[in-house]
Amino acid sequence: MSAKEQILVCPHCGNKASQEIKCTALGKEEIELDPGNVTDAEIYTYFVQCKTCLETSIYTDWEYGTNPGNLAHATLLYPSVKKLMGIPKAIQDSYAEAKRIQKISPIAFAVLIRKVLEYLCKDQNASGASLKQQLEDLADRNIIPATLVRMTNALRYLGNLGAHSSEIKIGAEEAQIMDDFFVAVVEYVYVAPEKLRILNEKLKNKNSANSVSLKKEK
């Protein structure tokens, strides 16, 4: 196997097979590794072909990544991950910003996820002087259930650790748990209601069509 081939699960066919890097593009972008620590970073974009299904995928990585060139640690750009529905643009954009640095700096990721939680509370008109109080307000109004309250408190706590010096370090595992928790929260607050609205609209249209059909038969 050449240096440009790596064994990886293909996002198209799902097989764990050889993935060949066909082309690498290099770019630069300003990123924030830690709060207040802004630097220029080289961005690598990899065009990869699966040796099994021959479909093409696109990955991106950074010079500050865990292991640049290792697709297992890179971020998949295409095929894209399912887009969450019904989420306000400010929350979508901030979450996308956090995802871009999740593998580069779990600490900065934690801080940004906390920031996205603040946007969520603002969008839901939560009252309270602190994020903790705002999350409690959302719970009192049944916007988020008890289990998600505990999840958001964990996100808030880890975000605080990231924003301040602490002996407790946030690593890749904690960052992934935070990501899972955050997605669960937005799925409940935004995605599920939006899917329900779409379903109700479709059922309403079908019922209306059936009603018209019955009238014609009469």
Enter the tokens of residue 215: 């009238």
**CB contact set of 56 (below 8 Å; sequence gap of 6+):** 22, 47, 48, 49, 50, 78
Q: 152 or 163, which is more confident? A: 152
Q: Is residue 100 part of a domain?
A: yes
d(CA 89, CA 97): 12
Q: Residue 98's domain spans which residues? A: 89-202
Residue 99 falls inside a structural domain:
yes
Average pLDDT over residues 88-96: 88
Asked if residue 72 and residue 138 are part of one domain, the reply reads: no
**Contact assessment for residue 46 and residue 71, using Cβ atoms and an 8 Å cutoff:** yes
Cα–Cα–Cα angle for 136, 142, 145, nearest 5°? 75
- Residue among 28, 34, 190 nearest 112 (CA): 34
Residue 215: is its pLDDT beyond 70?
Answer: no
pLDDT per residue as tens digits for the range 165-212: 566 678 888 888 888 889 999 999 998 888 888 888 888 887 776 654
Which of 95, 63, 76 lies closest to 191, judged by CA? Answer: 95
SS3 169: coil
Q: Which ranges constitute the DSSP H helices of the chain?
A: 89-100, 106-123, 131-140, 146-163, 172-186, 192-217
Assess whether pLDDT exceeds 60 at residue 20. yes
- Render pLDDT for 45-78 as a digit per residue (tens, 0 to 9): 999 999 999 999 999 887 665 567 788 888 888 8
| 93 shares its domain with 198 | yes
Same domain, 38 and 135: no
What is the pLDDT, as a whole number, of residue 165?
A: 59
> What is the number of structural domains in the chain?
2
105 and 181, same domain (yes or no): yes
Q: For residue 183, tell me if it sits in a domain.
A: yes
Quote the tokens at residue 81.
């991950």
Choose between 24 and 167: higher pLDDT: 24
Q: What is the CATH number of the domain that holds 194?
A: 1.20.120
In the chain, % of residues over pLDDT 90: 29
> What's the predicted TM-score (pTM) here?
0.61
Which one is predicted more confidently, 64 or 146?
A: 146
pLDDT at 123: 96
Kindly state whether residues 67 and 101 are assigned to the same domain.
no
The reported pLDDT for the residue numbered 143 is: 93
- Per-residue confidence (pLDDT) for residue 101, from 0 to 100: 78
Check whether residue 104 and residue 47 sit in a common domain: no
